[in-house]
Each structure stands twice: as structure tokens, then as C-alpha cells.
Structure 1
Amino acid sequence: MISVGLGILLNPLNSSMISVAIARLQNVYQLDFTDVSWIIFSFYIASAISQPVMGKASDLFGRRKIFLTGLVVAFVASLLAPLSPNFGSLIVFRIVQSIGTSMMVAVGMAIVRIHITEKQASALSVLSIFLSGAAAIGPFIGGVLIHWWDWQAIFFVNIPFVAASFLLAWRIIPKDNPPTSDSRNMSFRKWFEWIDVSGILLFTVGLVALLVELLSVKSSGYVSLRNVLVGGIGLVALAAFVRHELKAAAPFIPLRTFAQYPAMTWVNVEFMLVNVLFYSLFFGLPSYLQVVRNVSEFYTGILMLSLGLCSLVVSPLAGRWIDKTGPRPALVVSAILMTFGSVWLVTLTPASPVISVCLALAAFGISNGLNNVGMQAALFESSPKEIIGVASGLFNTSRYLGTILSSLLIGIVMGDQFSSGGLRVLGIILTLVALSLVFMGRRRQESSESRIYFHFYPFFLLLCTYMSQDT
């Protein structure tokens, strides 16, 4: 468990430490936030793609092999990223790092399920502490490292974790069973079809092209022919992706599942919005503190610690509450807290005490602790047991899409430079999103599944039918 835990914490740790390094990277590479935000986009897009792919690959090549390979990949990326001669190289190593750490997350839970046969629930809860704890204290660790060294330290800090995990995993994790004859004889073409390489490429091209187009329009202030062409490529790629996924035997994202289980679809929409809210604050506030309020990385990390600690403390209490009452009350309270935190952002001025930021952070931290358990429970309620694996994969995809949208929102609102006015605009937008979640939570059980079916299913089914045609 320790060997697996040290490996899987690297993904959330590296996704959260970067939040306090954004302002420093802007100064080092002379970039505005719109450009430097690709350090966030690249990591989450790569994670969204790598985790399901590596989960499938582990069935062929073995979970231990994938885990150890992921550690090697993460080690190489963490060693080379600080030596990047330019921002483009840093993005490349960041993507490689995301792929390596995703390999461990994809198979870590499965390794524990297979090889720890007693008290599995306790074992999995310990691993969840590695995951949530790393994400919670990542900004604090990042702030301390940058204060005492520089931004390169947030990559070098991975190396002792990787080394310890590799040595333990090499000695302790049992070897994989020999591959079956079917997997040994599978050709590259069949393997590519099995992991849906075509769907992954279309999804990546479409998403990246749209992000480039939107951020470019925001940066330049006008729509050029190049923007139109890039946006058109993105839309065509995503349309082709939808058509391909509806016909694929093993789709990367099983879109038909959304049409078949509308209640589960609704939960995923809510979860995506929750992550838009949380990560807009998570990535936006540290840059605001450093750029607008001139707070050092060290003290920014300390302030951000209030978010992580509140989340960690509330999560186990939320589990007990939700066991008794179900997820709906906790999710409504969470949405109300996020509304309060968003409104508080609107009230902040350059003269407001910096410590008052902790109120918004605490509100979002408590709500995150409630959401960590509540959204998962809502997913289990809305998803049939026979598709729970697919549902969990879609759930994680919703998380990553919400995170990507949050970075896009910050880039569009803030533009070249953070400002108090930009933070107020961001707070107003987040308030509207949070209020919509309050409404969704209150209507969750009032709106029956048949009612949601009436609104969404006929349209989606017609779209699926049309896109599935050969002509």
C-alpha cells in the first residue's frame, strides 16, 4: 500500500503544486496568463486520455509493469522539466509527466484490490487519503519549495517519491500473471482498435483546436480568418469524434451510455460544474494573491492550506452524514457554501485584508469535502451496478473537463494580467454557476428520471441515430 500510495499521489500533487507557480512562470518566460495556462490544460488533457487508456493496457501488459513503467516515465519527466530551455519544452515534459503519473493512478487501485484480500475497504480508504491529501497540501508544498528555491523544485521534489515507490514496488508487488494467448497474439491494429486510437486523436485535436481558437480570440481581441479555420477544424474533429464513438466497438468515451442513463448524465453535468467552480478558485486565487496583492509564494501556499485542510477534515464527516441522509442534503449545502465563497470574491477590494481570502477558501474547502463523497454517492445511486466501471470512467472524464473549462474561464476573464476587477467578474460568474447548482440539488429528487428522459433523451437519441448513419 505504501509503494502504491507513493506512486499515485504524484498525479494530484503535481496538478495542485503548479497553482502557486503560475505567476512565477509568467515572469520567467514573459507570458500572459492565457499562454501560461497551457501548463494546466496540457496536464489535464493528457490525464483525461491516459488514465482510461492505461487501464485498458494493463489488461494486456500487466498492472505491475504499467505501474513500474509509469514511475520511470515520471522520473525522466521530473528530471528534465526543470532544465527546459523554453516554455514549449516545459509543456512537452509536463505532458510526459502527466502520462507517467496517470499510468500509476490507472492501475494503483486495481493492484490493491487484487493483492490485498483482507480489509480491502480500509486499504482503499488509505489510498484515497494519499490522493486527496496530496491534492490538498500541494499548493502549500509548492509555495514552500518556490520560496526556498525556485519553480524547478516542484519537479525535483517528485524524485524521492518516485525512487522510494519504485524500490518498494519492485520488491513487494507480486509479478503479473502470464498474458493470455489472445493478448500475446493481438496485432497492433487490433490493439489500436481496442483502445480506440482514432477516437482519442479526434477528441484531442478537437479539444485543443477549440481551446487555441478561444484563447487566441481573447488575446488578440478580434476574430481572424486563422481563428475561424482553427475553430472550424475543432468543431469538425469533435463532430467526427461523436460519429466515431457512436459506431466504435470499444469507444474511448461511450456516448450512448449518456442517452441510456439520463440520471447518471445529470450527475456528470453537475460534477463538471462543481469542478469548474472549485478549480477556478484553486488556480485563479493564487495568481491574484501574487500578482495583485504582492503576496509571496510562501504565504500564498499557507493561505491555500486553509482550502486543503477544510476539505480533508470534512470528507470523513461527510461520509457519515451521507450514509444517513443520502447525497442530496450534503450537495445542496455544498452549493450554498460555494455561492457564499463566490459572492465573497465579488466583495474583495485591493484594500481588503489578505486574511479575509481565507473565508472564501474555507467555504470552497468545506464544499469540496462534501462533494468528494456526495457526488460519488450520487453517481452510485444513478448508475446500474452492471455499468459501474464505465460510469466511474465517465465520472473522471467529467472532472477533467470541468478542470479544463475552469482554466479556460480564468484565461478569458483575466486575459493578459490579473486584476481586482477581473476577480470580481470571475466571482459573479462563479456565483451564477453555484446558484444553478443549488437549484439542481433542490430539484434532484423532485425531477424524476422520466422527466429528465423527456427533456434530453429524444433529442440525444435522434442525434445518435443520425450520426450513426453511413450516409
Structure 2
Amino acid sequence: MTDGGVSTAKAGFDRRLIPPMMLGSILNPVNSTIIAVALIPIGAALGAPPSETAWLVSALYLATALGQPIVGRLIDIFGPRRLFLAGTALVGVAGLIGTLAPDLAVLIGARVLLGIGTCAGYPAAMALLRSEADRTGQDSPAGVLTALALANQTISVVGPLLGGLLIGAGGWRTVFLLNVPLSVAAIVLGALRLPKRPAPARRTGMAGRLDLPGMALFAVMLVSLLLFLMNLRAASWYLAVITVAAGAAFTVRELRAGTPFIDLRVLGGNLPLVATYVRALVAYTVSYAFIYGFTQWTEKGFGLSPFHAGLVQIPMFLVAMAIATVTGRRRGVRAKLLIGAAGQIVACLLMVTLTETSPLWMLLALAVIFGVPQGTNTLALQNSVYYQADSERIGSSAGLLRTFGYIGSMVASAMIAASFGQHATTSGMHHLAWLMLGAGVLYLLITVVDRSLRHVAQPER
């Protein structure tokens, strides 16, 4: 028998699911990174200063950080197929809107829609992995989890290079137009290969299952927090107040709700998963600070062209892929996390020694060292959530992992702004490196004291 084109017979992992899983999961990272090289030409074409075009980055981060756990919860209830198809269709619509946008406001709106549309891919992939494990009675192959991490990691690094090629060939609108064929391919693959799931037996009470008040309070809390992190100044104090108030109301609501959006009682009883989320926030803070902050210094402080600054990142990409490939089939995560923490610390110490007169090979060596945590951390954090999360909430749990990662990106942005000010100077880069080093040490400490990691993904004896 088949179910939506996927065999229901108990066998090994159905590898026909891999192409739509991979394609859906990369829609978010490709749109997160490809815009980096388009900001200058967009500003020149639409007459917008950098302070305004920056919202093209922030809008997608805000929409994604908020949407990931919400869409993930919808996947838990309705199954991955419907949300995957709806989300990838929205990506195509947003791509068309961006391609035809007459002004910056419409373009920002398209980025918001892209953020929402790309929210389904990663939680859907994690839900499919868990459902396949339940169907076959076997853990999902480590190689599939590794491939998922590699696909996201690869596209994150390749995104700016791809964007440069597209802009050179057809202008900045091509970075939006790219979403149309990607959307069509994802819809076709999803419709043909993703398993169908029976509709909920009762539509009544669906609002209760969705916990709309909890989602609304979560939205207010998260948006106010991210806006505060993006505007760290005295005049923004009210955003911190709103965050605290919304957070308190959200906590009360979730503890009282019969079917909470985020079950804080279960989450509070799953301290290993909470520790994983905290680790993700800290790890991505260091990662984003390097990718965006150090890259700015290589252009402004060291004097590289944007193209050559991008090439300096290539060793990190190659090492990360090699590390993830070699370690991916090893089930444990603790060793990966410890290696990643050590790599971050060593890299930050090297950053402190760099100046505008340093030889180019030192920048390349730094990229090589940073490739180690890039290759281990993403994979280990993803696998941790897969094994630690409640199987009934794997979609929303995976979405929360991405949310904490995006909060880390906002913390990194605040660190970069505080360190550089108006210019990416060498002294500012050193200040940023010390902040990153503090985060790296914190990441190491959280990992060392977490005894539960010894048992994550280890076979039972």
C-alpha cells in the first residue's frame, strides 16, 4: 500500500523523502544569506540608505524567529505535508512580490512573507524524521540528520556567492525571483512524496488546540525582545518592559492552558532540552558575530574587496563540511559540542591578535579554525533536539531551536553595533572578539556541566 506516494510497509527509512526535506529546509538559510550582497544595489536602485535597507534583513529574522515554533506546532497537529505545501507556496508568492516590488516598503513586506513561508521546511523535516522512526521502529539514519545539517550549512555559506552571481547576471531582483522555481520544485516534490495524514476528526475545539492566546502573547514577547536587541539605547527601555510583561503573561497562560502552545511544565521538566536551547543561543551568537562582524572588518579595516572578503570565508565552509561529514555518523553529541566550544575559544583568541598589517594567511587560518565549530555545533544541536524533544511536539521543538538561533543573531548584531559604532575598526574588532570569547567560554561551561549529554543519542545497553 501507498500513502501519498510513500510506502507504508515497515522497511528502512524512505529515502524518497530526502529531496523535499532538503529543499524545504534550505529555503530559509538561502533567503537569510543571499540578501547580504543585494543590500547595496537595492539601496542604490530605490534611493534607500543603509539604515532602511537593513530592515530587509531584520524583517525576515523577526518573521522567522516568531513563525518557526508556531508553524512547528501546526505541523505537530496537522502533519508536515499541509504546512510544507502551504509554506513553500507562500515562498513563491513572496518571490514574485519581491521581483515586482516598486518600493522598499513592498520589498520589506515580501521579506516578511518569505520569513513566514520558509518556517515550515525545517520543522517539517524533523517531524518526518521522527515519524519515519516510529513507522519503521528504528532510529532515523545518522546520515540523514547529517545531510540535513550539511544542506543548511552549505547554503548559508554559498548564499552570498550565489547572490553575487545572480545580481551580476540579472540585477538585484533575481535574488527574489530565485524563490519562484525553488517554490515550484518544493511543491511538486512535496505533493508527490510527502505522506498524507488524515484530517483531524473534529474541527470544533481546534482553536483551543492551537492556543491562540498563548501564540499571541509569545508573539508580543518575542517581537518586543528582538526589537529591543536591535535598538539597544536608552530610548528603547519600554520595549524591555513590554518583553517582561508579555513574558509573565505568557508564562501564566501556558501553565493554565489545557493544551498549551509551548508546554512550560513539560519543558521545565526537560532541563536537557532547555540547556540545548541556551547552547544554541550562545553558539549562534558567536557564529553570527564572526560571519557578519569579522567580515565587515576584513572589508573596512583590512581593506579587502567584498568579493575577496567572501573568498576568505571559503576555508570555513570547506572545513565545516568535512568535519560534519566525518563526525556525522557518530551518534554521541557531547564530544562534538566540546570540540565546537574549544574551536570557538581558540578562534576568538586568534582574532584578538589580528591587525590591519597581519598577513593574509592569518585570516585564512582563522576561517579554518572557525570551520571546526561550524561543522560540529549545528549538527550536535540539531541531533540533541531530535533525541531530547517530546515526539508529539518535535515540530514546535525544532522550530524553537531555530528561534533561539535567531535570538542569538540579534544578540550578535547588538554586539557588532556596540563594538564598531560607525566604522569597523581594528580596535572595534578586538572588542567584538573579547565579547565573543566570553560567549565561547559560557558555551563550554554549559556543555561541561551538562551530564545528560553523555546519554544523548547513545544506544541503550
TM-score range, shorter chain: 0.7 to 0.9
- Out of 13, 34, 40, the position equivalent to 2:57 is 40
* Residues 369/392 of structure 1: CA separation in 2 closer, same or farther (3 Å cut): same
The question of 1:411 aligning with 2:404 is answered no
CA distance in 1, matches of 2:76, 2:20: 21
CA distance in 1, matches of 2:260, 2:328: 33
RMSD, aligned CA: 3.6
Q: Within 5 Å, which residues of 2 pair with 1:69-148?
A: 69-110=86-127, 121=141, 125-148=146-169
Q: Hey, which of these two has a bigger chunk of helix by percent?
A: 1
* Cα deviation, residue 373, structure 1: 3.1
CA distance in 1, matches of 2:328, 2:58: 31
The question of 1:254 aligning with 2:263 is answered yes
Match for residue 453 of structure 1? none
The question of 1:331 aligning with 2:337 is answered yes
**Preserved contact between residue 163 and residue 175 of structure 2 (Cα < 8 Å):** yes
Deviations 1:390-415 (A, max 9, x none): 65454343323223322333233334
Deviations 1:358-414 (A, max 9, x none): 222222221121113333455567668787676545434332322332233323333
Match for residue 275 of structure 1? 284
The letter for the 1-side match of 2:208 is E
* Cα deviation, residue 268, structure 1: 2.4
CA distance in 2, matches of 1:297, 1:340: 26
- Out of 398, 414, 426, the position equivalent to 2:404 is 398
The question of 1:440 aligning with 2:446 is answered yes
* Residues 331/127 of structure 1: CA separation in 2 closer, same or farther (3 Å cut): closer
* Cα deviation, residue 429, structure 1: 0.4
**Preserved contact between residue 70 and residue 215 of structure 2 (Cα < 8 Å):** no
**Preserved contact between residue 328 and residue 444 of structure 1 (Cα < 8 Å):** no
- The answer to which of 304-313 and 138-147 deviates more is 138-147
* Residues 108/372 of structure 1: CA separation in 2 closer, same or farther (3 Å cut): closer
Match for residue 207 of structure 1? 222
Match for residue 7 of structure 2? none
Q: Within 5 Å, which residues of 2 pair with 1:24-423?
A: 30-32=48-50, 36-58=53-75, 63-110=80-127, 121=141, 125-170=146-191, 172-173=192-193, 176-182=196-202, 185-186=203-204, 190-213=205-228, 215-218=230-233, 223-224=234-235, 227-320=236-329, 322-323=330-331, 326-354=332-360, 356-378=362-384, 392-423=398-429
- The answer to which of 67-76 and 425-434 deviates more is 67-76
* Cα deviation, residue 14, structure 1: 1.4
The letter for the 1-side match of 2:241 is G
CA distance in 2, matches of 1:148, 1:373: 34
TM-score (norm 2): 0.80
Any idea what SS the aligned residue of 1:404 has?
helix
The letter for the 1-side match of 2:215 is I
**Preserved contact between residue 23 and residue 291 of structure 1 (Cα < 8 Å):** no
* Cα deviation, residue 111, structure 1: 5.1
* Cα deviation, residue 20, structure 1: 4.1
**Preserved contact between residue 8 and residue 108 of structure 1 (Cα < 8 Å):** yes
Runs (5+) with no aligned partner, structure 1: 450-471
CA distance in 2, matches of 1:390, 1:68: 17
CA distance in 1, matches of 2:393, 2:188: 36
CA distance in 2, matches of 1:147, 1:347: 36
**Preserved contact between residue 41 and residue 407 of structure 1 (Cα < 8 Å):** no
* Cα deviation, residue 278, structure 1: 0.8
* Cα deviation, residue 61, structure 1: 5.5
* Residues 432/169 of structure 1: CA separation in 2 closer, same or farther (3 Å cut): closer
The question of 1:7 aligning with 2:28 is answered no
Runs (5+) with no aligned partner, structure 2: 1-17, 456-461
Any idea what SS the aligned residue of 1:349 has?
coil
Deviations 1:269-288 (A, max 9, x none): 22221111111112223333
The letter for the 2-side match of 1:347 is T
TM-score (norm 1): 0.78
Q: How many residues are paired up?
A: 433
CA distance in 2, matches of 1:90, 1:64: 28
**Preserved contact between residue 136 and residue 312 of structure 1 (Cα < 8 Å):** no
The letter for the 1-side match of 2:86 is T
* Residues 315/236 of structure 1: CA separation in 2 closer, same or farther (3 Å cut): same
* Residues 385/107 of structure 1: CA separation in 2 closer, same or farther (3 Å cut): closer
* Residues 2/254 of structure 1: CA separation in 2 closer, same or farther (3 Å cut): same
Percent of paired sites with the same residue: 26
* Residues 414/246 of structure 1: CA separation in 2 closer, same or farther (3 Å cut): farther
**Preserved contact between residue 78 and residue 97 of structure 1 (Cα < 8 Å):** yes
Any idea what SS the aligned residue of 1:176 has?
coil
* Cα deviation, residue 77, structure 1: 1.1
The letter for the 2-side match of 1:132 is Q
Match for residue 466 of structure 1? none
CA distance in 2, matches of 1:448, 1:375: 14
* Cα deviation, residue 154, structure 1: 2.4
**Preserved contact between residue 6 and residue 162 of structure 1 (Cα < 8 Å):** no
CA distance in 2, matches of 1:319, 1:419: 38
Match for residue 424 of structure 1? 430
Match for residue 13 of structure 2? none
* Cα deviation, residue 217, structure 1: 4.9
The letter for the 1-side match of 2:121 is M
Match for residue 467 of structure 1? none
* Cα deviation, residue 6, structure 1: 2.7
**Preserved contact between residue 142 and residue 301 of structure 1 (Cα < 8 Å):** no
The letter for the 1-side match of 2:183 is V
* Residues 177/428 of structure 1: CA separation in 2 closer, same or farther (3 Å cut): closer
